Structure 1
């Protein structure tokens, strides 16, 4: 089975478009126009055009593009802020609010024309509810937490080892780090994930991390997965990703 995957986008619409361009070029070379494109979440925050990213993905799926979009922790923070008025996620151990520059929520709201500062929550929530289209919130609210194939599990952050996928906690699927990242045993299926930023996608044998650090100013790096093999897509073609 072949599919394409795009890691954390973080509001970078131009980079997302470029990633899809690279995918379309590879589709043409392998003559597989129907292969799915899996986006592993963190669509919003930090980058300049979170609104544009959501509109691009919503529009593409509406036209029948074979795109799968998963929920990321930043997407959930955005949704909870606007829909539920929650400024803090308990999983953020520092206690920082979603509007803190480190998390990037204010940048997301700015893409909707809303000025917000960390600490000014009530006014920002009211302004966000007036500015964010209802279809954007509905889109985020309906995003799945994972995609499973015969040989793969696609998820935002990772999985808790040894726990069946239907029994995984949402907090782990969106936030887990060391308990998953330090596990070297095979998970039965290759886990394709983002959430932990690197300089480029890295294949570890039991998992493939595709967060290339767009949230920190680095380019989105799309990948193609065929069974247990994976390649990063570049302007010069496929670059093989091999386990150490």
Structure 2
């Protein structure tokens, strides 16, 4: 695999198809909308016969407007199905919380309170007894279940875990080295870090991912990381691919 893999410098998108892969949004509707305006301007100024905009997951939590992010993505996909949305661990964590309010789970521990606030619901961090929510959290959970539109739940449930175009494989977190791309575990696709980041060899495709924040987009021989901590730093990044031409796009907003 390491000897027959593809190097970033040699990787190409499909003939005639422009690709854009957008990193973790985390509730920054302002940055997501700005990135889409940037891409739309490019496609208008230099038209492409075909295109895909691939969103790499983590649409919710931490930032201030997760609800508007999901509304935006639902509308974008309805407008043109070439807008593709992949699942991130926080998106699955939101679904998990709606199903069962774990006071110590991902949602409550890492920015879910901000997500709930975007739906007009105040969640107490509460306390737990053998992993069960206290009364305040149970009430907040019930209010959130009521406040989240079914269309948002359906959207989150519809998210796929990977996509492949040309010499590129897109997912949220990364892949398990040594496992064929079509046999990757969903948990790895949304959670993996060290085993993937530390792998020195090439893969059968260049892996484009987010999940692990970096100060600026990280371009390696075998992978590209476009998670630039949008929710806090105010920088949202994307990889743009046009044949063999590859570049990083960024939009800048207010840091939180």
TM-score range, shorter chain: 0.7 to 0.9
Aligned residue for 1:220, secondary structure, equals: strand
Task: Kindly indicate whether the alpha-carbon contact (under 8 Å) linking 2:167 and 2:205 is maintained by their aligned counterparts in 1.
Answer: yes
Which residue does the alignment assign to 1:184? 200
Q: 1:65-117 CA deviation, whole Å, 9 max, x = no partner?
A: 520000000001111111x21426xxxxxx555223xx100000000000002
Once the two structures are TM-superposed, the CA of residue 163 in structure 1 deviates from its matched residue by 0.4
Match of 2:107 among 98, 108, 116: 98
Does 2:113 align with 1:113?
no
Distance 1:13 1:146 in 2: 23
1:5-20 to 2 correspondence within 5 Å? 5-20=21-36
> RCO (CA 8 Å, sep 6+): is it higher in 1 or 2?
2
Which residue does the alignment assign to 2:177? 161
Match of 1:171 among 187, 199, 220: 187
The alignment's TM-score, normalised by the length of structure 2, stands at 0.83
Aligned CA distance change for structure 1 residues 167 and 174 (closer, same or farther; 3 Å): same
List structure 1 runs of 4+ shifted beyond 6 angstroms: none
Once the two structures are TM-superposed, the CA of residue 227 in structure 1 deviates from its matched residue by 4.9
1:68-217 to 2 correspondence within 5 Å? 68-82=84-98, 84-87=99-102, 97-100=106-109, 103-119=110-126, 120-217=136-233
- The structure that has the greater radius of gyration is 2
Aligned residue pairs total 226
Distance 2:20 2:49 in 1: 11
Aligned CA distance change for structure 1 residues 116 and 233 (closer, same or farther; 3 Å): same
Aligned residue for 1:222, secondary structure, equals: strand
What residue ranges of structure 2 are gaps of 5+ in the alignment? 1-13, 127-135, 252-256
RMSD of aligned Cα (Å): 1.7
